[in-house]
Every structure is written in structure tokens, then in C-alpha cells.
Structure 1
Amino acid sequence: MPAGTLTIDLSAIAANWTALDALSGPGCQTGAVVKADAYGLGVARVAPVLAAAGARSFFVALAQEAVALRAALGPGPVIWVFGGIMPGDAQALSAADARPLLNSPAQVAAFRAACPGAPCGLQLDSGMNRLGLEPAELAALDLAGLDLRLVMSHLACADTPDHPQNAAQLAAFRGMAGSFRDVPLSLAATGGTVMGRDFRFDLTRPGIGLYGGLPFAAARPVLALDLPVIQVREVQPGESVGYGATWRAPAPRRIATLAAGYADGLHRALGRGVSYWAGDVPCPGVGRVSMDLVTVDVTHLDADPDSLRLLGPHQGIDAVAEAAGTIGYEVLTSLGPRFDRVYKGAA
């Protein structure tokens, strides 16, 4: 028996892209970020569904990811690589017909030498201080001969719409990108798309919103995670459950042991912070999450369950993330390979 079943609703992913595309508005293209194996959900299954929905520009982090993405998509859609060009990437970029988003003068020089005449993009640092050309570097850069197809930057605080850095980065991006003519501009990922027209420019790049996560509150749920019950045992008052004896039964309890743990991406910090669902009935987690097991109080159920649900309509990735003290992105991308991935909702 697998550690659990992760059901992925491809039609919900397509619907979320369509909703974000409508939000992006006329005259603005909507891309799709599918890095990290489509946030752990399987790029070979997810990317063709997004292409069928209408996405024509896709974004990955690394050139190696572009190769797998091209195999899934076939010819046609544009593939962008956030990491630009790294040593040894020229062959992968060529094989994938992918376009690097160049991040530094050194990358511009390396790309000129390795891929002369090939299309590319530039990433500008508008204030995040992570990737991209700073204003002085851009001003000093010789762009002659570069076939530029996109100029982009990335917002640091888009999940907090009223954060002052959003306005500061918008102004910085406009100032840096203002010298480019007839080159599409992109600033907004999911959060920027939601924040408003000023941030959308010519191309939006939704990622987490496609997969049901905040800050796209209108997203359709994409995932269900069902965990099989290995056994149910009676625990007497005062007896402890799990490592460290952090939880003790205040009265007679029935405790279910489920086949999943932190080796599967269920963060150890979850502990008692989430519920596991039997249909519409929540069951509290008790004790510590261990490598392969979690324990849940099912005393109030009429019968012992065969499985319980962690992720679903009642409790999404952001609720689980809040309980673990992290973010939905980490919950999503941590879901481990032992889960049996089942796809529904699209061919």
C-alpha cells in the first residue's frame, strides 16, 4: 500500500489559468510557471493541460527543466529559464529551444559567446536583490546584437498588497524598462496579477495561483491527499502518543496511525495544528509527526476509518502551511514521491 494518494485535478488547474488570464485583461498575455516539476504535481501532465487552456509562454528555473518541459509540450510554446545561462547550459537551451532570462553582465557575455543570435530575455533587479541586472549594470551594458524578446522583474512582497515595496519596485521597473521599445515587459506573478492593472504590463506569470494557493483567493482547489490508516488503538487516560510523549490522553481515546510522515513532506512542525478529515468530520492530529507516521484522534467517529484526508476542500495547502509555520509553496513542493499521484479532470 502506498503512503497515500494525491489526487490532482487537472481541470481545476486549467480553470485557475483561465480565471487568471481573464484577470490579466485584454492586451496582456498570461503565461504559466511550471518550475520544480510543476510545483511537484508533474510537469508532463500539467503543462499540456495549461497549453490546451491557452498558455503560450512557460517558465522554469533551470535549463534541465526546460528539456523535460519541451518533451511534454512539443514545438510551439515559448519556454523561459529564470536562471539564465549557467556553465554547460548551451546544449540544453538549444535542445529545448528555450530562452534564458539573462541576469548579469557575465551571463550576457556567456550567452553571446555560446548562443550567438539566439533569442533571450533580461531580468532586472527592481529591488529584491536576488536575481537580475541592477540599474548601473543595465546602463553600462552593451545590448547590441541581442535578440531581446522579454524584459522582466519580480516582486518581493506581492502577497502583501499594501506593502510599500510593491510601489517602489513598480516605479523602479518602469524606470529601468522605459528605455526598451517593442520588447514585452513582465513584472507580475500570481500576486502582481491580483494586485491590479498597473503591475501586469504585457505578460503575467502566474505560478502558485494555478495550483490552488494564495494570494489568488478565488482559485479552485486542485489537490486531495488521502492517507491510509494502518491501525486504530485504544489509549487510556494518561498514556502518551508519539515521540517525546508530548501528548497524553485526557480520557479514553481511539488513536489512528496513518501511513505518512515528514519523509513525505508532512512537516514535523504540524503536530497537533491540523485536522484530518473523515468526509466532513475533522479529526485532530495528536503527538508528533514522525518520519513515516502520523497519529490522529478518531474517538468521535462511529467507525474506524480506512483513510483520512489531509488536503482537500475543507483544508488546503495554505491552511496546512499556517499550522506548520510555513507557506503554501513549501507544502506543495514538499509532497513526496511515495504518494500515488492520480490525475483527474482532463485527458
Structure 2
Amino acid sequence: MQQLSCVESCSSRLGIDLDALRANYRTLTERVAPARCGAVVKANAYGLGATRVGAALYREGCRTFFVAQLSEVAPLASAVGADAAIFILNGLDPASEGACTAAGAIPVLNSLSQVTRWRASARRLGFPLPAALQVDSGMSRLGLAVEDALALAADPACARELDLRLLMTHLACADEPGRAANGEQLAAFRRIAAHFPGVPASIANSGGVFLPPPFHADLARPGVALFGVDPGPHAVGLRPVVQLHARVLQIRTVAAGTRVGYGLDHIAPAPQRLATIALGYADGWPRSLGGAGALWHRGIRLPIVGRVSMDSLTVDISALPQGELAEGDFVECLGPSQSLADAARDARTIAYEILTRLGARHARIFVEDGNAEIVLPGRAP
């Protein structure tokens, strides 16, 4: 096990609390019981590292995982047991059927063309292939049209060629519990599901987990909630999983009227003490936080002044006592003083985007059961 001293030369540290991740999975599992709870770990587990996140969830009892693309299957499969099912939410790209079969993954078939190609593969192999069907219940993004789904349900050859493991849909407004669209989608999906007796059903994403039990169906598919992001106003009991700290590169005092940063957008209204921080948009910190967001140090807000550049940004540290912060110290970007939701609000975006954009230059520190595993920049997380 590497020691924490390995990260001393790194400019930023991304802490990932796998104990909190596992606790969140337990919370979500209890919330949807007696339905089962899977885990969406697409986009490299929302940027945090699919192998370590997947392994931790597997240790907690998760056996159903969802990724977005076939390329995401192999890293996850290497980290979980052979008894885990891995579904590909985007389904199959043309000519990828053989690779999907070899990987042992289960495609979520979203269109008639995907269904047709997967059925043709089954006929060539001479046995039914596992699949999920996604139906469009009102979001108009991915999924079979109602008439196409019903035609498949009525086709006896389809049952001989497809081993249907799941029938699913996706909620457009699950983070807004009061929207009538949620009930409309549930009703539409149930009408379609009635034509697929015996096939497990899945409706709830992270927000859907906190909707009433009918939305939980047989299997829930939480994603961002696993990482401690509240997916709606009624979400409770989730623990934050990530913390981010970045190093102070330089400290200076500027006179009133001094212009700062690209475009010289910030003009010091009075003498200011400024710190340049090793964090920029190449590290996933949104450019829109320039002049709007903040970093923190020991509970004191440090406003970002001027623009966020590729590798650095500048904060006003005038509120700190003289000598409180020195070059080489770290300040808090995400943590007890600033959540993903806080940063997203200031950036005028959503927590999903902040989380998934966190870059590869951070040293990642995975903490579980009192142990720390360190993945240095440049190595696959």
C-alpha cells in the first residue's frame, strides 16, 4: 500500500470515500426493498474510477451494473465477480454484436435496428442471446416506440431469439416529484409491461428511488445518488463521497486598481491578498466559476477573482489572518464547506457535470476500511 507521502508532489488531491459509497448503496437498497438495487457506473463511475467503485459496490452486494458503452465493460468486468450482470445502456453500435457477446455483456436494445441485429446474431449462434429492452414511455430520448414494443411482444420468434432479462424505461422528471409527467410515464410503462409477463421491470433512476414504491418496480438503477448527490428534494440519508483540494502556487498582495487574470476582468477595489491555485478548467473546474464561485480554507470563503484559466485560478484570501495560508498549502475545492451541489449552483450547471468533468491530473485517494489506496496522475483510476 502506497503511503500518503506519494501525493506530496501533486498539485491536487481527489479523495474518494468508498465507505460512504457503500453506505449510500445500502441506503438506496433499503429504500427500494423488496425491489433489487443495481448501480449505474457509466463514464468511468462518473469520473471516479469504475474498477475501484465497481469492486466496492460488488463487495457491498451489488450484482447488477449499468454502463453506457461497450468500451466500458472490460474495466468493470475485471473488478467484479463473474456472477455480476453488466448492461450497456446505449445498446449496440453497428457491427459490435460479436464483441458484445465475447464480453458477456447484456445490451439494452433501444431501437428496432438494434433488436434486428441482435436477433440475427442469435440465429447465427443457434441460441437465444441475453438482452434488455428499453421502451420510450414519454421522454423521447432512447427506447422503442410503443407500437414496436408491442409488435415484439406478439412475435413468438422473438422469445426464441432473445433471453429478455429486463424491460426498462427512463424518467424525465424524477428529480421533480410533483410533476404529472412521472405518473404519466409510470402508467404508460405499465401498459407496455403487461405484454411482457415474467420479465423484470426497471423504472427508477436516482430520483426515482425517492418516488413512491410503484416506481421501484423490480430493479432500481441509481447513479449519481451513489456518490452522495441528492437527486431531488426528498432525498435523505446520502453521504458525500468526494473531496477535492488544490495547492497554493503563489501568494501576492496587490494595490487597489490592480487588474488580475486573462482579460484583466477583475480590478482590485482595495488592497487585496491573492493566492493563485493549481486548479483550472483542464482539471474539470468550470470556467463559469470565474468571478462567481469560491474555494475555502478552514471554513472561510475565498472568492474566485478573475477568470478560471486552464491550469490555475486566483482567489482573494484577504479574509484570512496574515500568515494563515502559505505557498504549497492546500485549499478546499469540494468538501465540508462546499458540496458538489454548491459548486454546481455557482457554475449555473448541475452536480453531474462537475463530478464527471473532474480531470485526470488529480491524485486520487481511495479510502476504505481505514486504508488508503493512491492512484497518481497518469495512471488509470
TM-score (norm 1): 0.96
Q: Percent identity over the alignment?
A: 46
Q: Distance in 1 between matches of 2:63 and 2:336?
A: 30
Q: Distance in 2 between matches of 1:95 and 1:282?
A: 52
Deviation at 1:89, TM superposition (A): 2.0
Would you say 1:315 and 2:338 are equivalent positions? Answer: yes
2:159 counterpart (144, 149, 163): 144
CA contact (8 A) 2:97 2:117 kept: no
* Range with greater deviation from structure 2 (265-274 or 326-335): 265-274
| Aligned residue in 2 for 1:285 | 304
| Aligned residue in 1 for 2:264 | 245
2:180 counterpart (140, 143, 164): 164
| Aligned residue in 1 for 2:31 | 23
Q: Distance in 1 between matches of 2:85 and 2:251?
A: 51
| Aligned residue in 2 for 1:202 | 218
Q: Distance in 1 between matches of 2:255 and 2:368?
A: 45
| Aligned residue in 2 for 1:110 | 117
Q: Distance in 2 between matches of 1:344 and 1:282?
A: 27
Task: Give 5+ residue unaligned stretches, structure 2.
Answer: 1-8, 372-381
RMSD of the alignment, in Å?
1.3
Q: Which amino acid in the other structure matches residue 340 of structure 2?
A: I
Deviation at 1:67, TM superposition (A): 1.8
Residues 240-286 of structure 1: CA distance to partner in whole angstroms, max 9, x if unpaired? 21112222111111100001101111111011322211122221111
Q: Distance in 2 between matches of 1:33 and 1:184?
A: 17
Deviation at 1:217, TM superposition (A): 4.5
| Aligned residue in 1 for 2:55 | 48
Would you say 1:295 and 2:314 are equivalent positions? Answer: yes
| Aligned residue in 2 for 1:121 | 132
Q: Distance in 2 between matches of 1:345 and 1:74?
A: 19
Task: Give 5+ residue unaligned stretches, structure 1.
Answer: none
| Aligned residue in 1 for 2:22 | 14
Would you say 1:328 and 2:351 are equivalent positions? Answer: yes
Deviation at 1:72, TM superposition (A): 1.4
CA contact (8 A) 1:214 1:328 kept: no
* Range with greater deviation from structure 2 (199-208 or 298-307): 298-307
TM-score (norm 2): 0.88
CA contact (8 A) 2:58 2:81 kept: no
SS of equivalent to 1:72: coil
Residues 317-347 of structure 1: CA distance to partner in whole angstroms, max 9, x if unpaired? 1111111111111100000001111111246
SS of equivalent to 2:302: strand
SS of equivalent to 1:176: helix
CA contact (8 A) 1:153 1:173 kept: yes
Would you say 1:92 and 2:103 are equivalent positions? Answer: no
Q: Distance in 2 between matches of 1:89 and 1:327?
A: 33
| Aligned residue in 2 for 1:212 | 228
Q: Which amino acid in the other structure matches residue 347 of structure 2?
A: A
Q: Distance in 2 between matches of 1:180 and 1:137?
A: 13
